[in-house]
Amino acid sequence: MTGPAGANAPALPQWFAELFAHRRWIRRAGPFPHVYARDVFVPEFYRRLADELVRVRREQSFGPVTDNYGAIGAPLSGMRDGPLALFLSREWHDLIARVAGVSATGDVEGGIHNHPPNSPPGGPHNDLGPAWFPGPVPGPGEIRTADPAVDIKTGAREPGVVARENVRAVAVLFYLGNPGWQPGDGGETALFEHVGAGNPVASLLVPPLDNSLVLFECTPRSWHMFAGNNAAARNTVIMWLHRPREYVVQRWGGDSIVPW
């Protein structure tokens, strides 16, 4: 792979291509297939993203991400007016889907996650969970995000509201706003070859280095977690692409889907 789009991929729009530093994105086979990249964006655009994170943290109230998880955050769907809106663009969606080798629907969920210093570690999970989105499948060039009219986790909604059940297809973690991180500072993303009873040992720790990312297809084996013990706050853009439930049932069986 010679760039974020791959050697045989269609040409990216110029405005979009100019955001990238065009370094190599590394495809790794273990502990499960994933892609890792450093210096993802050119310095000027990365600084805009980091500055926007500071503004968002100053002007928005972050709430708990979910039960029994140490992070606080805010959804990307509320950040459409600044540089963070890139992560809700169809161009970014299609790039990530192409790199991951996944056919995705155009439905996107994500947010900013902030782990305060000395946050506890999470638990291993594979992200192969359901996600409900309103309306029909997005058309080419469109993106659809979660809507309060439909509970994204359960599909609960008022009568007459149309919704579709998807499953997470690709997870992306982009690290920003973690200046000066050094080995030993903690807060990595732990990847596991396998998990079982007790305390599984991580096979690989992905450091939260600014302007880097890790992405992977969500499968029954994509075990990962926040490693905790972070000396400083750890900030991440985390997001997921999706695909229809029927595809996952056919490939891995319905019992592979992890309910909330």
pLDDT, tens digit, 9 for 90 and up, residues 136-158: 999 999 999 999 999 999 999 99
Q: Coil, strand or helix: which one is 114?
A: strand
* Contact call for residues 23 and 43 (beta carbons, < 8 A): no
pLDDT of residue 3: 44
User: In this predicted structure, what is the pLDDT of residue 4?
Assistant: 47
Task: Provide, for the chain, the percentages of residues in helix, strand and coil under a 3-state DSSP scheme, each rounded to the nearest 5.
Answer: 20, 30, 50
Q: What does the pLDDT average to over 125-132? A: 96
Distance CA 33, CA 214 (A): 11
Report the SS3 class of residue 54.
helix
pLDDT per residue over 37-89, tens digit each? 999 999 999 999 999 999 999 998 888 888 777 889 999 988 888 999 999 99
The pLDDT of residue 2 is above 60 = no
Query: pLDDT, tens digit, for every residue of 87-114?
Result: 999 999 999 999 999 999 999 999 999 9
DSSP bridge pairs for 237 = 112, 174
The stretch 159-169 carries a mean pLDDT of 96
259 vs 246 pLDDT, higher one: 246
Residue 60: the pLDDT is 85
Q: Which of 32, 258, 235 lies closest to 123 in space, CA to CA?
A: 258
Cα(7)–Cα(11) distance, integer angstroms: 10
Asked if 20 and 43 count as a contact pair (C-beta separation under 8 A), the reply is no
Q: Which of 174, 118, 175, 110 is nearest to 143 (CA)?
A: 110
Q: Provide the residue type at 240 as one letter.
A: W
Per-residue model confidence (pLDDT) at position 260? 85
* Measured distance CA(13)–CA(15) in Å, rounded: 6
Instruction: Please check the confidence at residue 246 and state whether its pLDDT lies above 60.
Output: yes
